[in-house]
Amino acid sequence: MLNVGKIEEGFVLDHIEAGKSLSIYHHLQLDKLDCTVAIIKNARSNKMGKKDILKVECDIDTLDLDVLAFIDHNITVNVIKDGEIVDKKELTLPKEIKNIIKCRNPRCITSIEQELPHIFVLADEEKEIYRCKYCEEKAGESTYSW
């Protein structure tokens, strides 16, 4: 088994569905941060069979992790300080998500005006339903951009 060393301060995102770690890397814009990131794909998991893990060494206030709740709320977020887990972060669904998913409604204004941000608003927290801010199309499988 491949071993990746401990981090001093940052996050360990565990229980990521196998194969999704790279898209999460992009959604969290980790490519824009000057920090150490370990992407572990297809790690063995008792719970999931196989899973992905992301280890991010950074200041713990740097990242907005709420978007993870939208992507997959089964992800476990371990907050690391001085090499130890100090917190397991509760993920809450963001009220609004911007440029994470695309509206695929061919009648939506975003289909012809390319510069508009794709914004989805949390319409029903209980049922976890997001709707396009412009045309109110429900976010579904067909709207995911990853």
Partner 1 sequence: MRHLMNPLDFSVEELDRLFDLADDIAANPAKYAHACAGKKLATCFYEPSTRTRLSFEAAMLNLGGSVLGFSDAASSSASKGESVSDTIRIISCYADICAMRHPKEGAPMVAASRSGIPVINAGDGGHQHPTQTLTDLLTIRALKGRLSDFTIGLCGDLKFGRTVHSLIAALLRYSGIRFIFISPPELRVPDYITDRLREQGIEYEEVIRLEDCMADLDLLYMTRVQRERFFNEEDYVRLKDFYILNNEKMSLAKDDMLVLHPLPRVNEISVEVDDDPRAVYFKQAQYGVYVRMALILTLLEITV
* Under rule CB under 8 A, residue 126 binds partner 1: no
Among the candidate windows 42-50, 63-71, 77-85, 110-118, which touches partner 1 by CB under 8 A?
A: 110-118
What the block records as the tokens of 22 is 């790279």
Whether the CB-CB separation of 40 and 53 falls below 8 Å is answered with yes
Is residue 29 within 8 A of residue 63, CB to CB? The reply is: no
135 forms part of the interface with partner 1 (CB under 8 A) = yes
If one asks whether residue 133 binds partner 1 (CB under 8 A), the answer comes out as yes
Q: Measured from the CB of residue 123, what is the shortest distance to partner 1 in angstroms? A: 11
Nearer to partner 1 by Cβ, of 13 and 139: the residue is 139
The yes or no reply on residue 107 touching partner 1 (CB under 8 A) is yes
Side-chain-side CA neighbours of 61 within 13 Å: the count stands at 0
d(CA 129, CA 8): 37
